[in-house]
Structure 1
């Protein structure tokens, strides 16, 4: 008896085979994402495309050269990426091969939160006004286009430098997209809500405004008081401590499951209900 004797089982086996292969390929792509292996992968695709075109157009010399590159390229890959391959095999032996992508994503998210909290702490102590919007589900591309594109890795030093008074980028919002500073000096829509306290300025109105039309999370540092505010879903969370800010960022950005709500309720100002 063989599995081929049962058409249904054979069909299911082929489906499982394809799904497993695609899953392995996906995990491998997640593992090499952000490493120099990505450029190597692009180079391999270029060689394959050139090889196909040279055969199609009858370019025999070029086709021979591409054949040599493919034949000896795999040996070169093993030599060049020997440390990476050894590390991957070690992770496979420890059973952590497929968990690396998730671990890397968690590390990047933790770095983002740490940079925002550190920058906010510095600016709050010195009363440097700041407005930082973090993209989540709803895209912020329309608002990114209103600012100066940066596409930079997030760091506390970069955020602080952007908002230093009298610098070209300090007036406006920084938008973080895919854990990068996508743009600075961006214009955000101002909220028209009559329930926002009169003591709050343009930065807070812009933070509430963007939270009313998207699901982004926005951090505001008051230039007058140094107070820290977070807005989301049209709500203001005012006068947060650094610990509360970090807790809120972790809950909203890392989706941490908690048995009770964060200790922010007394600072929760719903602008549609309270002033």
Structure 2
């Protein structure tokens, strides 16, 4: 108990400081810091740094225990290796850090802090029309054995992989999907990324799965579909170029020989996994995108 008391006396002595007078400047400073911490956590949650953060929390807990029980050898090793660990993290996550700085430069800070218009209340991840077009396009490509790889984004952003391809930002139609994956066309090689009702990018590169349980007869397309499902919560539709069979990859598992009815069922399940979001609205009038009510 004495070691625990000594630890808190050493590292948390600031908690016993006398009460200070809080000014308007202090309140503004707290709000700014809270916003910056929030944006940092949102960025971490949407990148691979989320796994790093969980690891850091675990290590901090371990360091806390080592300090409390006076494990001097472990504390010495940690103190000597902390600088190297920080530099290694910066090098490993350099692409994410660079993109975060780019996003800060692109953001409209004032409008994000005080939104004058309410955000749309999203009732579904994508429309019924999108479900129909995805099913129709997949079935048509399967009939003629056109290889396809369609990744549907859920909560985890696919922006990291989206940037490896060619930006499209097009409404989803079965004809567009068929044209993209038609053999010998400029966009047929790689994956298509779907966000909401739009195809945001084509010819995207995906991570390949290292799962040794996958059948040896499966090619790169199937391994890429499983690979992206292992690192994100996306659903991937795969059409085999050799057999015309349709497969689904989700949470690292591959379901083969899927028919149109099963595909539609999975897409409907995916479509319903949404959370309504609302923003504060200063202007109480009709939004520019709202339809007139009779």
Please say if 1:117 is aligned against 2:135. yes
| Alignment check: 8 A CA contact 1:116 1:156 kept | yes
Gapped runs of 5+ residues in structure 2? 1-119, 275-294
Please say if 1:201 is aligned against 2:219. yes
Gapped runs of 5+ residues in structure 1? 1-100, 257-275
CA distance in 1, matches of 2:226, 2:265: 20
Question: How many residue pairs are counted as aligned between the two chains?
Answer: 155
Please say if 1:242 is aligned against 2:253. no
For residues 226-266 of structure 1, give each alpha carbon's deviation from its aligned partner in whole angstroms, at most 9, with x where no partner exists: 0000111001111011111111111122249xxxxxxxxxx
Task: From the two aligned structures, give the one with the greater helix fraction.
Answer: 1
| Alignment check: 8 A CA contact 1:144 1:186 kept | yes
Please say if 1:167 is aligned against 2:174. no
Please say if 1:188 is aligned against 2:206. yes
TM-score (norm 1): 0.54
CA distance in 2, matches of 1:142, 1:106: 24
After superposition, the Cα gap between the structure-2 partners of 1:200 and 1:183, relative to the gap in structure 1 and judged at 3 Å, is: same
Q: 1:226 aligns to what SS in structure 2?
A: coil
Q: 2:242 aligns with which of 210, 221, 224?
A: 224
Q: 1:179 aligns with which of 197, 207, 222?
A: 197
| Alignment check: 8 A CA contact 1:109 1:254 kept | no
Q: 1:146 aligns with which of 164, 185, 189?
A: 164
CA distance in 1, matches of 2:208, 2:220: 7
| Alignment check: 8 A CA contact 2:125 2:273 kept | no
After superposition, the Cα gap between the structure-2 partners of 1:139 and 1:107, relative to the gap in structure 1 and judged at 3 Å, is: closer
After superposition, the Cα gap between the structure-2 partners of 1:141 and 1:106, relative to the gap in structure 1 and judged at 3 Å, is: closer
CA distance in 2, matches of 1:205, 1:130: 13
Please say if 1:129 is aligned against 2:147. yes
CA distance in 2, matches of 1:152, 1:172: 17
For residues 205-237 of structure 1, give each alpha carbon's deviation from its aligned partner in whole angstroms, at most 9, with x where no partner exists: 000000000000000000000000011100111
CA drift at 1:107: 9.9
For residues 143-191 of structure 1, give each alpha carbon's deviation from its aligned partner in whole angstroms, at most 9, with x where no partner exists: 0000000011111111110000000000000001132100000000000
CA drift at 1:109: 1.8
Q: 1:1-275 to 2 correspondence within 5 Å? A: 105-106=123-124, 108-255=126-273
Taking CA–CA contacts closer than 8 Å with sequence separation of 6 or more, which of the two structures ends up with the larger relative contact order? 2
The two structures, once aligned, show a CA RMSD in angstroms of 1.8
CA distance in 2, matches of 1:124, 1:163: 11
CA distance in 2, matches of 1:252, 1:221: 19
After superposition, the Cα gap between the structure-2 partners of 1:105 and 1:162, relative to the gap in structure 1 and judged at 3 Å, is: farther
CA distance in 1, matches of 2:229, 2:160: 14
